Amino acid sequence: MNSGNQAASGKDCRRACRGEPRKLRTGFAAKLIEGVLDFKTMIDNETLPVEYLGGKPLCMNQYYQILSSCRIPGPKHDSIVNHARGKKRSPHISVVHNFQFFELDVYNSDGSPLIADQIFIQLEKIWNSSLQTNKEPIGILTTNHRNSWAKAYNNLIKDKTNKESVRSIEKSIFTVCLDAPMPRVSEDIYKSRVAAQMLHGGGSRWNSGNRWFDKTLQFIIAEDGSCGLVYEHAPSEGPPIVALLDHVVEYTKKPQLVKSPMIPLPMPKKLRFNITPEIKNDIEKAKQNLNIMVQDLDIKATVFHYFGKSFPKSEKLSPDAFIQLALQLAYYRMYGQPCATYESASLRMFHLGRTDTIRSASTSSLKFVEAMDKPNKQNQEKVDLLRKATQAHRQYTDMALTGNAIDRHLLGLKLQAIEDLVSMPELFMDTAYAVAMHFNLSTSQVPAKTDCVMCFGPVVPDGYGVCYNPMEEHINFAISAFNSCAETNAASLAHYLETALLDMRLLLQSTPKSKL
């Protein structure tokens, strides 16, 4: 599994799948593919409306990186190939079912995209010709450590047929994964199980081989009708991916108006792989490695349903700052101390901008969390500290958004020192620097119109990954941790977070409304 993989889960086509589940699922997949192609037309024609943040236009480049691209493992470093433009432009997507990959052309000879009816017929052909379940899970190779995968990759593509198949996946516009059934679980852990399926596929016994994790964008359609996506993080941050997802979800709700022309389409091409004993050995090693990681990942996807961003707004507080402060309170209550906290801030106000870090643990947040549970402190004093801490967070956010945060600057200096082979400046050798970089809380807001949430893993062995999508009246969270760390527990943090949010609301409601 690439550490940079991020997944979104939430859109649920279970209702649509009642009746004839399998055909309705294929029908949904066809409509989804049509929706992505509709979005692609806007990318290709450069008609995507420019996005704004705080009245400032944002760089739209990431939108041009997410389709027809793939990460390629390399002996020294990986690279990204992009086949979106020019002669290399690809007319196909890849579809995987029962670990078997197919190349599916999604454009007619006149350049017009296939419509859902046509795609449905093609998906049915793929489905029916990949019913065997005993195939080698070739895609699982992409889950291995990058160095091991780079070696296995070179070995894999020595064979001409394998090379053609790999290139086809890499060039494809995106991948659609038609997943096999997952173990049934109770309703209370169902959301977390789906999040895990989207993020890593469940391990070698389940759907992890039904992926090509280097592919930038893979849509996953589960057997029970839930669906989501997993994306390789190198080419883009979450927001452009979620904007595409929002478009596709809306698109799938539209009725089908255009009828398919009844011109028969050729059978989608099956991508064949010759599995030598050496490749088989690489697959086995990748399986073992992946299963350890899957076992280790603890995910809790949860909905905080008491209020959404409308409550902090009604208190004239930034919802994002309010949620971040609740995270600080939750962590402090669990561990009796704060921790270095990372929140991603978009740098898209700048050309080709990616992210910088909002350091959510501040002296102001510490003052608030320390005061919050002290019975001798007046509520008004606590409210003042809460307001000051959220304002401090918002100020740091504005600083980060305008390129004035510290982390990418320091990272640049450190990498420059490494590249120039000079001795490492003392700052980077200091224990304080190591503590400041050990982000026990790695967090990110990825807002979406769709009722979904993204999820990703922690960045340190004793840490948490927290992603959230604040909706108007509720907040979707996905929290991750490692089972191998005795001190962390995703469900516990989720519980403390819920309590922190409720306590902060109660506190604000217990004092006269601010005139701020």
CA distance 3 to 455: 12
Residue 287 known to bind ligand: no
Distance in Å, CB of 315 to ligand COA, minimum? 8
Distance in Å, CB of 83 to ligand COA, minimum? 23
Binding mask 273-312 for ligand COA (x = CB under 6 A): ------------------------------------x---
Sheet arrangement for strand 464-470 = 297-304, 475-482, 464-470, 441-445, 341-346, 355-359
Residue 117 known to bind ligand: no
CA distance 280 to 155: 11
Cβ-based nearer residue to ligand COA, 117 or 384? 384
Binding segment toward ligand COA, per CB under 6 A, in 137-145, 161-169, 254-262, 341-349: 341-349
Distance in Å, CB of 316 to ligand COA, minimum? 4
Residue type, 204: S
Helix (H, G, I), strand (E, B) or coil at 1: coil
CA distance 227 to 364: 41
Cβ-based nearer residue to ligand COA, 115 or 479? 479
Residue 57 known to bind ligand: no
- Nearest of 62, 67, 68 to residue 88 by alpha carbon: 68
- Nearest of 131, 91, 93, 118 to residue 27 by alpha carbon: 118
- Counting contacts by CB under 6 A, is residue 61 touching ligand COA? no
Residue type, 428: F
Among 142, 357, 443, 444, binds ligand COA (CB under 6 A): 444
Binding segment toward ligand COA, per CB under 6 A, in 33-41, 170-178, 286-294, 338-346: 338-346
Determine contact, residues 332/369, Cβ cutoff 8 Å.
yes
Distance in Å, CB of 442 to ligand COA, minimum? 10
- Counting contacts by CB under 6 A, is residue 440 touching ligand COA? no
Residues contacting residue 357 through CB under 8 Å, at least 6 positions apart: 342, 343, 344, 345, 400, 405, 406, 407, 408
- Counting contacts by CB under 6 A, is residue 165 touching ligand COA? no
Among 69, 90, 355, 489, binds ligand COA (CB under 6 A): 355
Residues contacting residue 76 through CB under 8 Å, at least 6 positions apart: none
- Counting contacts by CB under 6 A, is residue 238 touching ligand COA? yes
- Counting contacts by CB under 6 A, is residue 144 touching ligand COA? no
Distance in Å, CB of 454 to ligand COA, minimum? 7
CA distance 58 to 50: 7
Among 26, 218, 346, 489, binds ligand COA (CB under 6 A): 346
- Nearest of 72, 322, 326 to residue 213 by alpha carbon: 72
Q: Is 474 marked active-site? A: no
CA distance 31 to 241: 18
- Counting contacts by CB under 6 A, is residue 465 touching ligand COA? no
Q: Which of residues 384-423 bind ligand COA (CB under 6 A)?
A: 397, 401
Half-sphere exposure at residue 155, Cβ-oriented, CA atoms within 13 angstroms: 17
Cβ-based nearer residue to ligand COA, 243 or 317? 317
- Counting contacts by CB under 6 A, is residue 357 touching ligand COA? no
Q: Which of residues 306-325 bind ligand COA (CB under 6 A)?
A: 309, 313, 316-320
Choice among 145, 233, 438, 495 that is catalytic: 233
Helix (H, G, I), strand (E, B) or coil at 443: strand
Determine contact, residues 312/318, Cβ cutoff 8 Å.
yes
Residue type, 412: G
Helix (H, G, I), strand (E, B) or coil at 172: coil
Residue type, 165: S
Distance in Å, CB of 58 to ligand COA, minimum? 10
CA distance 28 to 13: 7
Among 98, 197, 210, 344, binds ligand COA (CB under 6 A): 344
Annotated binding site for CoA: 309, 313-320, 346, 394, 445
Active site residues: 233
**Interface with ligand COA (CB under 6 A):** 53, 237-239, 309, 313, 316-320, 344-346, 355, 397, 401, 444-446
